[in-house]
Amino acid sequence: MAWPGLRLPKLPTRDALLTQSWSRPFAHYLGAPVLWRWNRRGVARGLALGLFVGIMIPLVQSPFAALLSVIARPHLPVAVVATFITNPFTTPIVLYSAYRIGSLVIVAERANPLVDMSQPMAWLETAFNWLATASLPTALGLLTMATIASLAGYFAVQLGWRWRVGRRWTRRAQARRITALAAGQGASA
């Protein structure tokens, strides 16, 4: 069901994308047919790679996903689109959750947020101390979240794809049985 008046922009085709001036140096790598095939394994790998890169790398995730796609051979568009799981709205939530998860794994020394203003530049030292104590739990939490999300995405695509194909086969077999049954009844009448 389409909404009246809704016009979605057309996505560029593979050939149109590879003829862009910025992509010409990489066209040989990005034009590999295996990166553009829509199959169960490629889509599952693309989603897993995109989720992992999207959570682990806070900025410019799409180029990293494209670069890693050349190596890992997933479905390139799925890998690039899946990186948008983090965006300016979700990044603070992801980083806070990563810090909390990392703090559960690593018992980090809590930095005192109170600043001694009697000494010049004391706030800078306090900020660096806080950053040093928060960065390791956050990095570990990001790694944990990215790994869990990519595994969940991979297996969700694998299971969903198999379920959908199995359902189609079942419907096709039922349609054949109904057709054969109807043909058998028509011949006997």
Give pLDDT tens digits for 17-64.
777 777 777 777 877 888 888 899 999 999 999 999 999 988 889 889
149: tokens are 């999300």
Q: How many CB atoms lie within 10 A of CB 111?
A: 15
Residue with tokens 């069901």: 1
Chain centroid to Cα 22, Å, comes to: 24
Amino acid letter for position 110: R
- CA–CA distance, 81 with 65 (Å, rounded to integer): 9
Q: Taking 90 as the threshold, does the pLDDT of residue 163 lie above it? A: yes
Q: How many residues does the chain have?
A: 189
Give the pTM. 0.76
Residue 185: band (very low, low, confident or very high) from pLDDT cuts 50, 70, 90? confident
78-95: per-residue pLDDT in tens?
Answer: 999 999 999 889 999 999
